[in-house]
Amino acid sequence: MNSIKIIETKDGSHSLLNEILNETYHSTHGAIQESRYVFIKNGLEYFLNENKTQSVNIFEVGLGTGLNVLLALEFATKNKIKIKYTSIEAFPVKKEIAGQLNYADLIFFSNGKTLFQEIHASPWEESIQINDFFCLKKTEQSIYEIELPNETFEIIFFDAFAPAKQPDMWKLSVLEKTVNALKPRGVFVTYCAKGQLKRDLKTLRLTVETLPGPPGKREMVRAVK
Protein backbone atom coordinates (compact mmCIF):
# COMPACT_ATOMS: atom_id res chain seq x y z
CA MET A 1 0.00 0.00 0.00
CA ASN A 2 2.58 2.56 -1.06
CA SER A 3 0.87 4.50 -3.83
CA ILE A 4 -0.74 7.21 -1.79
CA LYS A 5 -1.70 10.57 -3.26
CA ILE A 6 -3.17 13.67 -1.58
CA ILE A 7 -6.49 14.83 -3.03
CA GLU A 8 -8.81 17.73 -2.15
CA THR A 9 -12.42 16.92 -1.26
CA LYS A 10 -15.44 19.17 -1.84
CA ASP A 11 -15.29 20.93 1.56
CA GLY A 12 -11.70 21.95 0.84
CA SER A 13 -10.18 19.40 3.20
CA HIS A 14 -7.63 16.88 2.01
CA SER A 15 -7.99 13.14 1.82
CA LEU A 16 -5.71 10.42 0.51
CA LEU A 17 -6.20 8.23 -2.51
CA ASN A 18 -4.85 4.72 -2.33
CA GLU A 19 -4.10 4.18 -5.99
CA ILE A 20 -3.73 0.43 -5.70
CA LEU A 21 -7.21 -0.05 -4.25
CA ASN A 22 -8.52 3.02 -6.08
CA GLU A 23 -10.09 4.02 -2.79
CA THR A 24 -10.08 7.31 -0.88
CA TYR A 25 -9.65 7.55 2.89
CA HIS A 26 -12.77 9.75 3.18
CA SER A 27 -15.82 10.84 1.22
CA THR A 28 -14.86 12.99 -1.77
CA HIS A 29 -17.89 15.14 -0.82
CA GLY A 30 -15.92 16.44 2.16
CA ALA A 31 -13.50 14.64 4.45
CA ILE A 32 -13.90 16.85 7.51
CA GLN A 33 -17.65 17.16 6.94
CA GLU A 34 -18.06 13.38 6.78
CA SER A 35 -15.85 12.55 9.75
CA ARG A 36 -17.47 15.19 11.98
CA TYR A 37 -20.94 13.97 11.12
CA VAL A 38 -20.41 10.20 11.23
CA PHE A 39 -17.92 9.76 14.06
CA ILE A 40 -18.10 12.88 16.22
CA LYS A 41 -21.78 13.83 16.03
CA ASN A 42 -23.39 10.40 15.62
CA GLY A 43 -20.78 8.49 17.64
CA LEU A 44 -19.08 10.53 20.33
CA GLU A 45 -21.70 13.21 20.97
CA TYR A 46 -24.49 10.64 20.86
CA PHE A 47 -22.77 8.42 23.43
CA LEU A 48 -22.07 11.31 25.79
CA ASN A 49 -25.65 12.57 25.57
CA GLU A 50 -27.10 9.12 26.20
CA ASN A 51 -24.78 8.27 29.07
CA LYS A 52 -24.18 11.63 30.76
CA THR A 53 -20.50 10.98 31.32
CA GLN A 54 -17.39 13.18 31.14
CA SER A 55 -14.91 10.51 30.11
CA VAL A 56 -14.82 7.96 27.33
CA ASN A 57 -12.62 5.24 25.81
CA ILE A 58 -12.60 5.11 22.01
CA PHE A 59 -11.17 2.44 19.71
CA GLU A 60 -10.65 3.31 16.06
CA VAL A 61 -10.12 0.85 13.24
CA GLY A 62 -7.92 2.65 10.70
CA LEU A 63 -5.92 5.64 12.00
CA GLY A 64 -5.13 6.73 8.43
CA THR A 65 -4.56 10.49 8.21
CA GLY A 66 -5.36 11.04 11.90
CA LEU A 67 -8.37 13.18 10.99
CA ASN A 68 -10.73 11.36 13.35
CA VAL A 69 -8.14 11.68 16.11
CA LEU A 70 -7.83 15.43 15.53
CA LEU A 71 -11.61 15.91 15.52
CA ALA A 72 -12.00 13.89 18.73
CA LEU A 73 -9.15 15.90 20.28
CA GLU A 74 -10.86 19.14 19.24
CA PHE A 75 -14.11 17.92 20.80
CA ALA A 76 -12.43 16.81 24.02
CA THR A 77 -10.55 20.09 24.39
CA LYS A 78 -13.52 22.36 23.64
CA ASN A 79 -15.98 20.40 25.80
CA LYS A 80 -13.58 19.42 28.58
CA ILE A 81 -14.29 15.72 28.10
CA LYS A 82 -11.57 13.20 28.94
CA ILE A 83 -10.90 10.85 26.05
CA LYS A 84 -8.65 7.82 25.90
CA TYR A 85 -8.26 7.08 22.20
CA THR A 86 -6.69 3.92 20.82
CA SER A 87 -6.24 3.63 17.07
CA ILE A 88 -5.00 0.69 15.04
CA GLU A 89 -3.25 1.05 11.70
CA ALA A 90 -1.58 -1.64 9.60
CA PHE A 91 -0.08 0.69 6.97
CA PRO A 92 0.87 4.01 8.60
CA VAL A 93 0.76 7.14 6.46
CA LYS A 94 4.29 8.42 5.81
CA LYS A 95 5.38 11.53 7.76
CA GLU A 96 6.05 13.52 4.53
CA ILE A 97 2.43 12.94 3.48
CA ALA A 98 0.93 13.60 6.92
CA GLY A 99 2.90 16.86 7.09
CA GLN A 100 1.15 18.18 3.97
CA LEU A 101 -2.43 17.52 5.12
CA ASN A 102 -4.42 20.73 5.63
CA TYR A 103 -6.64 19.62 8.54
CA ALA A 104 -5.01 21.84 11.15
CA ASP A 105 -5.60 24.88 8.88
CA LEU A 106 -9.32 24.11 8.79
CA ILE A 107 -10.00 22.89 12.34
CA PHE A 108 -9.44 25.67 14.84
CA PHE A 109 -8.84 25.12 18.53
CA SER A 110 -6.08 26.24 20.90
CA ASN A 111 -2.80 24.94 19.47
CA GLY A 112 -4.45 22.50 17.06
CA LYS A 113 -1.68 22.78 14.51
CA THR A 114 1.01 21.64 16.93
CA LEU A 115 -1.28 18.95 18.27
CA PHE A 116 -1.90 17.52 14.79
CA GLN A 117 1.86 17.24 14.31
CA GLU A 118 2.08 15.54 17.69
CA ILE A 119 -0.52 12.99 16.68
CA HIS A 120 1.76 11.87 13.87
CA ALA A 121 5.04 12.30 15.71
CA SER A 122 3.94 10.43 18.84
CA PRO A 123 5.47 6.98 19.28
CA TRP A 124 3.53 3.83 18.51
CA GLU A 125 2.46 1.36 21.21
CA GLU A 126 2.63 3.96 24.00
CA SER A 127 -0.13 5.92 25.69
CA ILE A 128 0.73 9.59 25.16
CA GLN A 129 -1.02 12.41 27.01
CA ILE A 130 -1.54 14.90 24.17
CA ASN A 131 -3.16 17.52 26.43
CA ASP A 132 -5.15 17.63 29.68
CA PHE A 133 -8.12 15.97 28.04
CA PHE A 134 -6.75 13.56 25.48
CA CYS A 135 -4.62 10.45 25.72
CA LEU A 136 -3.63 8.72 22.47
CA LYS A 137 -2.34 5.22 21.88
CA LYS A 138 -1.47 4.37 18.28
CA THR A 139 -0.91 0.73 17.59
CA GLU A 140 0.80 -0.46 14.42
CA GLN A 141 -0.88 -3.78 13.86
CA SER A 142 -3.45 -5.45 11.70
CA ILE A 143 -6.96 -5.79 13.02
CA TYR A 144 -6.74 -9.45 11.94
CA GLU A 145 -3.88 -10.09 14.37
CA ILE A 146 -4.55 -7.86 17.37
CA GLU A 147 -6.04 -9.29 20.53
CA LEU A 148 -8.44 -6.79 22.02
CA PRO A 149 -9.42 -6.69 25.68
CA ASN A 150 -13.02 -7.58 26.48
CA GLU A 151 -15.60 -4.87 27.22
CA THR A 152 -13.09 -2.01 27.42
CA PHE A 153 -14.22 0.68 24.99
CA GLU A 154 -17.38 2.78 25.01
CA ILE A 155 -17.16 3.66 21.33
CA ILE A 156 -15.81 1.97 18.20
CA PHE A 157 -15.06 4.19 15.21
CA PHE A 158 -15.09 1.54 12.47
CA ASP A 159 -13.36 3.35 9.62
CA ALA A 160 -12.03 0.63 7.32
CA PHE A 161 -11.90 0.95 3.55
CA ALA A 162 -15.22 0.12 1.91
CA PRO A 163 -16.40 -3.51 1.86
CA ALA A 164 -16.17 -3.52 -1.96
CA LYS A 165 -12.43 -2.73 -1.69
CA GLN A 166 -11.40 -4.57 1.47
CA PRO A 167 -14.13 -7.14 2.20
CA ASP A 168 -12.08 -9.02 4.81
CA MET A 169 -12.14 -5.99 7.11
CA TRP A 170 -15.93 -6.36 7.35
CA LYS A 171 -16.03 -10.11 8.01
CA LEU A 172 -18.12 -11.28 10.93
CA SER A 173 -14.97 -12.42 12.79
CA VAL A 174 -13.49 -8.89 12.65
CA LEU A 175 -16.76 -7.26 13.63
CA GLU A 176 -17.17 -9.75 16.48
CA LYS A 177 -13.68 -8.94 17.77
CA THR A 178 -14.44 -5.22 17.94
CA VAL A 179 -17.93 -5.75 19.37
CA ASN A 180 -16.47 -7.98 22.13
CA ALA A 181 -14.17 -5.09 23.02
CA LEU A 182 -17.17 -2.79 23.41
CA LYS A 183 -18.72 -2.25 26.85
CA PRO A 184 -22.46 -2.87 27.31
CA ARG A 185 -24.33 0.26 26.08
CA GLY A 186 -21.29 1.03 23.93
CA VAL A 187 -21.68 2.45 20.43
CA PHE A 188 -20.31 1.06 17.15
CA VAL A 189 -20.39 3.68 14.42
CA THR A 190 -19.42 3.62 10.75
CA TYR A 191 -20.03 5.44 7.49
CA CYS A 192 -21.05 2.16 5.80
CA ALA A 193 -24.70 1.08 5.61
CA LYS A 194 -24.51 -2.22 3.72
CA GLY A 195 -27.28 -4.74 4.45
CA GLN A 196 -24.76 -7.47 5.31
CA LEU A 197 -23.09 -5.24 7.91
CA LYS A 198 -26.44 -4.54 9.55
CA ARG A 199 -27.36 -8.23 9.58
CA ASP A 200 -23.97 -9.13 11.08
CA LEU A 201 -24.27 -6.50 13.81
CA LYS A 202 -27.74 -7.84 14.63
CA THR A 203 -26.29 -11.36 14.79
CA LEU A 204 -23.84 -9.97 17.34
CA ARG A 205 -26.90 -8.77 19.29
CA LEU A 206 -26.44 -5.06 18.77
CA THR A 207 -29.38 -2.73 18.27
CA VAL A 208 -28.82 -1.36 14.79
CA GLU A 209 -29.97 2.03 13.52
CA THR A 210 -29.72 3.29 9.95
CA LEU A 211 -29.20 7.06 10.04
CA PRO A 212 -29.18 9.59 7.20
CA GLY A 213 -25.66 9.78 5.78
CA PRO A 214 -23.41 12.82 5.51
CA PRO A 215 -23.83 15.03 2.41
CA GLY A 216 -23.43 12.91 -0.71
CA LYS A 217 -24.17 9.61 1.07
CA ARG A 218 -27.59 8.19 1.67
CA GLU A 219 -27.14 6.31 4.93
CA MET A 220 -24.76 5.35 7.73
CA VAL A 221 -24.96 2.90 10.62
CA ARG A 222 -24.88 3.21 14.38
CA ALA A 223 -25.29 0.13 16.58
CA VAL A 224 -25.59 -0.04 20.34
CA LYS A 225 -24.57 -3.01 22.49
Ligand X SMILES: C[S@@+](CC[C@H](N)C(=O)[O-])C[C@H]1O[C@@H](n2cnc3c(N)ncnc32)[C@H](O)[C@@H]1O
Find, among 69, 98, 66, the residue nearest to 85 by Cα.
Answer: 69
| 85: contact with ligand X by CB under 6 A | no
DSSP designation for 220: E
What is the DSSP code string of 192-218? ---HHHHHHHHHTTPEEEEEE-STT-S
What size, in residues, is the chain?
225
Judged by CB under 6 A, the residue of 21, 45, 91, 128 near ligand X is 91
Q: Would you call 166 helix, strand, or coil by DSSP?
A: coil
Kindly state the smallest distance separating residue 201's Cβ from ligand X, in Å.
18
According to DSSP H, which parts of 80-156 are helical? 95-98, 103-106, 112-121
CA distance 169 to 166: 6
Residue 28 · residue 14 · CB < 8 Å: no
Kindly state the smallest distance separating residue 161's Cβ from ligand X, in Å.
5
| 88: contact with ligand X by CB under 6 A | yes
| 161: contact with ligand X by CB under 6 A | yes
| 103: contact with ligand X by CB under 6 A | no
Contact map string, positions 25 to 64, toward ligand X, x by CB under 6 A: x---------x--------------------------x-x
| 160: contact with ligand X by CB under 6 A | yes
Kindly state the smallest distance separating residue 184's Cβ from ligand X, in Å.
25
- What is the footprint of ligand X within residues 113-142 (CB under 6 A)? 142
| 220: contact with ligand X by CB under 6 A | no
CA distance 146 to 99: 28
Judged by CB under 6 A, the residue of 27, 65, 77, 178 near ligand X is 65
Residue 139 · residue 86 · CB < 8 Å: yes
Judged by CB under 6 A, the residue of 38, 72, 107, 143 near ligand X is 143
Cβ-based neighbour number of residue 87 at 10 Å: 22
| 90: contact with ligand X by CB under 6 A | yes
Find, among 20, 127, 110, 13, the residue nearest to 67 by Cα.
Answer: 13
| 109: contact with ligand X by CB under 6 A | no
Kindly state the smallest distance separating residue 143's Cβ from ligand X, in Å.
4
6 or 207: whose CB is closer to ligand X?
6
What does the binding site for ligand X look like in residue numbers (CB under 6 A)?
1, 25, 35, 62, 64-65, 67-68, 88-91, 142-144, 159-161
